């Protein structure tokens, strides 16, 4: 896996839809003031809650914030994604996909909404097996060659597809995917149980093996499971109802008390201890301030062993 110190990444999915631009600006300001660096968005965020039925709201809010904050572009790194934005409003079946034309067009539109000349990381948001992998790899490599993206990565891809894509990139002499983004958290659903959220792919041991052997960065989403670790009104989905969850949550409560941190902070610290960059969605400044403070939580080898035994 990548050897740089892990970061707490600000997830901006709801900016401009569920989270007003004003509140989004406040969260972004607090994130930067607290030393945060990476912003994660996507060109499809969030068509399912936007009355217009297409994505782009999150990127537009970030772009407006950058224009209103001179010097902010130098303080943050921006990651966005292509693959899922809709070509026809309110029609999920019209998603753009990962053809060469779709990747180039999606990236260009993202840059326009963000008001920047490049992004620091461009993700393929999910697999598109209707398009030859060679074509997608070439399209992402061309964006790096043109200076429109610094790095490229694969979100919600199986490990074998990522490794095949990296091999194709080497053969073509283009920039390979160097980052993985998958769903991961301390508690896990029952084995072989599909998650209810469409398109989500869980981090697997194979993904970690690939990342460690190839020096890839790993980002996790749904890291705090929508507040379920701390909010009684946000119970875990039924797929998490198994004995291991109860054991892990008991250990989590004990360790949080020992290290004088919140349970959310301990979960984030557990992820970062493994070299994973957790993405945290926030709608209030207090939430992102709490998340950034997780960088100061120190989990020992003994703490990690207790979690491993409970799982």
Across 112-136, average pLDDT:
98
For 262-282, what is each residue's pLDDT tens digit?
999 999 999 999 999 999 999
What digits encode the pLDDT tens for the residues 238-256? 999 999 999 999 999 999 9
Residue 172 has pLDDT above 80, yes or no: yes
CB proximity list for 260: less than 8 A, separation 6 or greater = none
297-308 mean pLDDT: 98
Checking if the pLDDT of 2 tops 80, the result is no
Residues 150-181 as b or e (16 or more Cβ within 10 Å = b): bbbbbbbbbbebbbebbebbeeeebbbbbbbb
Percent of the chain topping pLDDT 90: 95
Mean pLDDT of the chain: 96
Mean pLDDT throughout 135-151? 98
Return the domain boundaries, the chain. Answer: 9-310
- Domain 9-310 architecture: Alpha-Beta Barrel (3.20)
Mean pLDDT of 137-151: 98
d(CA 81, CA 116): 15
The answer to whether 77 and 120 have CB atoms below 8 angstroms apart is yes
How many percent of the chain have pLDDT more than 70?
Answer: 100
Location of structure tokens 């996507």: 42
pLDDT at 216 over 70: yes
pLDDT digit string, tens, across residues 11-50? 999 999 999 999 999 999 999 999 999 999 999 999 999 9
Is the pLDDT score of 6 beyond 70?
A: yes
Confidence band for 199, pLDDT divided at 50, 70 and 90: confident
Q: Average pLDDT for residues 212-234, to the nearest whole number?
A: 96
pTM tops 0.85: yes
CB 72 within 8 A of CB 43: no
Which pLDDT belongs to residue 198? 79
Residue 194: predicted pLDDT: 79
**Segment 148-170, tens digit of pLDDT:** 999 999 999 999 999 999 999 99
Tell me, what's the pLDDT at 3? 58
Whether the CB-CB separation of 178 and 151 falls below 8 Å is answered with yes
- Say if residue 171's pLDDT is above 80: yes
């Amino acid at each position: 896996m990548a050897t740089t110190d892990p970061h707490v990444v600000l997830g901006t999915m709801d900016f401009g839809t569920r989270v007003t631009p004003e509140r989004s600006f406040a969260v972004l300001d607090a994130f930067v003031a607290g030393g945060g660096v990476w912003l994660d968005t996507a060109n499809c965020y969030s068509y399912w809650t936007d009355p217009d039925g297409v994505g782009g709201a999150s990127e537009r809010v970030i772009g407006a914030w950058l224009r209103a904050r001179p010097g902010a572009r130098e303080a943050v790194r921006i990651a966005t994604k292509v693959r899922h934005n809709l070509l026809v409003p309110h029609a999920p079946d019209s998603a753009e996909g990962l053809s060469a034309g779709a990747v180039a067009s999606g990236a260009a539109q993202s840059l326009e909404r963000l008001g920047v000349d490049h992004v620091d990381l461009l993700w393929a948001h999910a697999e598109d097996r209707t398009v030859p992998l060679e074509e997608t790899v070439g399209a992402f490599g061309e964006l790096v060659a043109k200076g429109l993206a610094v790095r490229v990565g694969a979100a919600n891809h199986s490990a074998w597809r990522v490794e095949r894509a990296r091999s194709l990139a080497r053969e073509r002499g283009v920039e390979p995917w160097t980052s993985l983004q998958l769903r991961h958290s301390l508690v896990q659903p029952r084995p072989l149980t599909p998650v209810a959220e469409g398109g989500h792919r869980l981090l697997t041991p194979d993904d970690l093996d690939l990342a460690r052997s190839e020096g890839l960065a790993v980002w996790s989403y749904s890291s705090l499971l929508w507040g379920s670790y701390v909010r009684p009104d946000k119970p875990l989905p039924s797929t998490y109802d198994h004995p291991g969850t109860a054991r892990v949550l008991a250990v989590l409560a004990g360790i949080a008390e020992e290290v004088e941190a919140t349970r959310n902070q301990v979960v984030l610290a557990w992820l970062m201890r493994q070299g994973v960059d957790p993405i945290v969605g926030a709608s209030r400044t207090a939430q992102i301030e709490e998340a950034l403070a997780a960088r100061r939580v120190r989990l020992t080898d003994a703490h990690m062993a207790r979690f491993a035994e409970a799982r």
